Amino acid sequence: MTEKFAQFWYPDFIGIAYTEKNGNLLVCPYFDNLEKANHVLSKIRNWNPNFTRVRFIEYNLDDYAIVIYENPKASYEKINFGLYRSHMRQEPNYLKWKNRILKGNCRLLLLFSKDPTNISKFRSVGESLRIKDCKIINESELESTDYSIERWAHETCKGN
């Protein structure tokens, strides 16, 4: 019997920032609304790091998407929560951190600032979460059954 689950993809964050702390790469979705950031934190703070996945999907020479979720097989929730954002540019900041992403050793940290154009005004929301499974994949790899959840997110949300 196949288990059924539903996935809610949350796209309402401004973008992704990257930084380093204690030898770990911090992958940081950032928000300009503290209430939204706290809502997301309430959904992810208890994710099991062994089943938390972050996928960077490079889908042309210039753009990428990010999918962040807990494997639904590890969750006891009937509706799972994940973050998805596409149409992000592979600009120097992303390219600077790309090798660190490939090496793993990543953590997830939510950030908030009323002025997200000024990085000095960012502040953390909650504690960082360990990520056991962080990868960069190419859009063509979404055809693999290994990435069926990522494919689902990408196909249903990329146009938004």
Higher pLDDT, 7 or 56: 56
With the C-alpha atoms ordered 99, 153, 109, 44, is the resulting torsion angle positive or negative?
Answer: negative
Amino acid at 149: I
Amino acid at 70: E
pLDDT in tens, 17-29: 999 988 889 999 9
Residue pair 30/110 in contact (Cβ under 8 Å)? The answer is yes
Q: Residue 1: what pLDDT?
A: 37
- pTM to 2 decimal places: 0.89
31 to each of 11, 50, 112, 135, how far by Cα in Å?
11, 25, 5, 23
Element (H, E) at 43: helix 34-44
DSSP 113: -
Q: Residue 2: what pLDDT?
A: 46
Mention every residue, 6+ apart, whose C-beta is less than 8 A from residue 125. Answer: 31, 34, 37, 38, 41, 109, 110, 111, 112
pLDDT in tens, 93-130: 898 899 888 887 799 999 999 998 888 899 999 999 99
Mention every residue, 6+ apart, whose C-beta is less than 8 A from residue 118. Answer: none
